[in-house]
Amino acid sequence: MNTAGYLRRLGLPDPLRFPVSADGLRTLHRAHVEKVSYEALEIWLGRSTTVDPRESAERIIRGRGGYCYHLNGAFSALAGALGYDVVRHVGGVQKRGGAPEVDASHLVLTVRGLPSGDNPGGEWLVDVGLGDALHEPLPLVAGTYRQGPFQYVLRASEVAPGGWRFDHDPNGSFDGMDFATEPAEMSAFTGMHRHLTTSPESGFVRVAAVQRRDAYGVDSLRGLHLTRLGAGAHSVTLDTSRDYYAALADVFLLPLDDVSAEEKDELWRKVNKAHENWLTGRSA
């Protein structure tokens, strides 16, 4: 893997000057969620993807993002190449009002062997693929944690025996996430990845969503609705393709250099049409 290119994408220095430590992991995690957006625009562009971490890493290096399988998969490959002891796990995200389950709808990472003052056991929950959730890794220790404007809870899972439950902040986009402690291969996610990228029931298929976390809050774009939670909170509807692509480039660091002008026109048509249908349904 092009480790040096990946680190440059994150604005980080050469690996030889990058320590394997709890602080080093925090630096990696923060840089990733701040520089690499959570997005599934490939679906709306009619492009197929896989859950292969190296493919995801190459796409990220080229300036794009992805969703959990891509972001956490690529991050696990990067962190592993840098010397971190990374383990992948099967998880499941609980949507607002839904039931908790571990259905492989989420890829979760833990990193072991990095004791620190707040985590003597040295095991961490690492997740750069939860959209508007974690800004930094969490100690894999039950408790309440605050990051910026959001408060999280880690506790024992009620649906994954021996596993863990992450409760999102009430202002977040989902209720929580459960995951099993057993190590998982990427093949465990191929079926759900196919569903999430093709099914009319998939949220990624129904809404073109983009999110980017920073230390003070999160920016979210759902269709043409741009919102900010946390410091500088605001909400606005993007009325033109020029505004839409400017927001992608300026707010989410997605200039879409790999997308042709014709593809951008078609993407705007699809997103705008979906927004109009949403407005019609809301009015009805």
Q: What is the CATH number of domain 195-283?
A: 3.30.2140.10
Domain ranges in the chain are: 195-283
Taking 50 as the pLDDT cut, the residues of the chain under it are: none
What global pTM score does this model have? 0.96
* Identity of the residue numbered 26: R
- What pLDDT is stored for residue 18 in this prediction? 79
Residue by residue, DSSP assigns 54-86 as: HHHHHHHHTT--B-HHHHHHHHHHHHHHTT-EE
- What pLDDT is stored for residue 283 in this prediction? 64
Q: Which residues pair with 112 in a beta bridge?
A: 85
Handedness of CA 16, 17, 23, 25 (dihedral sign): negative
Using N-to-C axis directions, what is the helix angle for 68-81 and 22-35, rounded to 10°? 140
Distance of CA 172 to the CA centre of its chain: 13
Torsion of CA 94, 38, 173, 29, to 10 degrees: 80
- What pLDDT is stored for residue 284 in this prediction? 61
- What pLDDT is stored for residue 51 in this prediction? 98
